Amino acid sequence: MPSRRALFSLLGLPLAATVAAGCSSPRRARALEAFGDAHESTPEALAADESRWEQVQAAFDVDRSVVNLNNGGCSPTSSAALDAQRRRLEFANALPMVNLWRIQHGEREAVRRALAESLGCDPEELALTRNASESLETCLLGLDLARGDEVLTTDQDYPRMVTTLEQRVRRDGIVLRRVELPTPCEDNEALVALFESQLSARTRLILICHVVNVTGQILPVRELVAMARRRGVAVVVDGAHAFGQLEFTRDELDCDFYGASLHKWLCAPHGTGLLYVRRERIPEVWPLMAARHEQRADIRKFEELGTQPYAAQLAILEALVFHHAIGAANKLARLRYLRQRWVDRLRASAGERLQLRTSLSPRFSAGFATFHIDGLDDQALLESLWRRERVLTTSFAAPFPERARGLRITPNIYTTLNEIERFCEGVERALREGVR
Ligand SMILES: Cc1ncc(COP(=O)(O)O)c(C=O)c1O
């Protein structure tokens, strides 16, 4: 990811001007100022500096009567990005044929450039989509596969992506195979060997998560892509939980196909996503919505949706400014700090009964984790936390494997320490009194 300074200059915004431009959003300006001298400290030290994070917390208008620990589903948008979206929507509405079709359609190129800069790819390799599902289905449905060709994924990939492949099984006669992902896992070599052992002469495609949504496990994308490339197999990477949470570039992953949501960890407006396709592979992928033959090598062929509001996409710029001002490494360190708070407390109160489905090593997991408490039913605990404490979580049950099942806890950068404590108190009450 580019430095805060590089990104601002890409957007044509000198750093100071960006901060001062908080005139429409003083709370954003305060949040940005709070990280103005962040380079003088380490992400780990900043993670525990509550006064800075208080400014970030204030930059979100969220319902504080609820403790929202399911930001991995969809995060609130920062208030400044939401304002930007609202303004763009009103502008478009004033004269749609000019403001929407012409002006805003063109302005999307600045968003493409900024996201490409963040990912470290060429803007001509990046399409703006509505979400990770659209990005990934474009690849999973758009790559040619013949009857009998095999696709490999895992037993923990996102259900909609699996549904997509299952539809191809019914429609095109492909064969779907699934690797049983060790959980938690701290052996990347074994993982790569496991995937390789499942390839056959008919395997054409692998679908993997960069960060597994069930547990937060980081998969060794670069090594898996290298292994698959040697075997002539394409790899589609599901980055729904990685972009905006982990710091990485396309070159570090060396992948050819990557899809991500921006409304999870980037805190961009809802209904935003990106699709990266390596330039020379663009012609291979059929778009979901038809495009002209002359567009076959143009990344914009994946954006042929007809009339649509561009306000959300244009406000991605605001979310990127916010993200880079705080700093990707600082964000991740804060998420890990919040995770450590609840893990330590629950370890103290639940002891051996606490089962973590996630390695806490920074090499193997992002900033969230999933847990199960022996003797407590996951779904009953989830419902009890909601009913009695207004704590919102999500849980994973069958068909996910037993070793990955549990409650996933995904705070975000606006989450307060008090909210983490409230969640822990709820679990402790369940430990004392049972779930009811
Ligand atoms: C791993 C994974 N892939 C894809 C998606 C779909 O994301 P979206 O709702 O942005 O399409 C999700 C959503 O939670 C996810 O967790």
Pocket test for ligand 1, best of 128, 130, 133 (most atoms within 8 A of CB): 133
Any idea where the domains of the chain sit in the sequence?
A: 100-318, 330-433
CA distance 409 to 404: 13
Q: Report which of 166, 161, 230 is spatially closest to residue 192, judged by C-alpha positions.
A: 230
Cβ(209) to ligand 1 under 6 A? Answer: yes
CA of 193 to the centre of ligand 1 (A): 26
| Exposure b/e, 53-62, CB count within 10 A at least 16 = b | bebbbbbbeb
217: burial class by Cβ within 10 Å (0-12, 13-18, 19+)?
Answer: buried
Alpha-carbon dihedral angle through residues 108, 78, 270, 319, given to the nearest 10 degrees: 30
Is any atom of ligand 1 closer than 6 Å to the C-beta of 426? Answer: no
C-alpha distances (whole Å) from 370 to each of 281, 393, 398 are 36, 10, 15
CA of 74 to the centre of ligand 1 (A): 9
> Per-residue confidence of the chain (436 residues) as pLDDT tens digits?
555 555 555 555 544 344 434 435 788 788 888 888 888 899 999 999 999 999 999 999 999 999 999 999 999 999 999 999 999 999 999 999 999 999 999 999 999 999 999 999 999 999 999 999 999 999 999 999 999 999 999 999 999 999 999 999 999 999 999 999 999 999 999 999 999 999 999 999 999 999 999 999 999 999 999 999 999 999 999 999 999 999 999 999 999 999 999 999 999 999 999 999 999 999 999 999 999 999 999 999 999 999 999 999 999 999 999 999 999 999 999 999 999 999 999 999 999 999 999 999 999 999 999 999 999 999 999 999 999 999 999 999 999 999 999 999 999 999 999 999 999 999 999 999 999 8
Per CATH, which fold does 330-433 belong to? Answer: Aspartate Aminotransferase, domain 1 (3.90.1150)
pLDDT at 248: 97
The CATH fold of domain 100-318: Aspartate Aminotransferase; domain 2 (3.40.640)
Query: 108 CA to middle of ligand 1, Å?
Result: 23
Quote the ligand 1 centre to 158 CA distance (angstroms). Answer: 7
| pLDDT number for residue 11 | 58
| CB 415 less than 6 A from any atom of ligand 1 | no
pTM: 0.95
Three-class secondary structure of residue 16 per DSSP: helix
Q: If you ran DSSP here, which 8-state letter would residue 217 be given?
A: B
CA distance 116 to 127: 9
Burial 116-125 (b: 16+ CB within 10 A, else e): bbbbebebeb
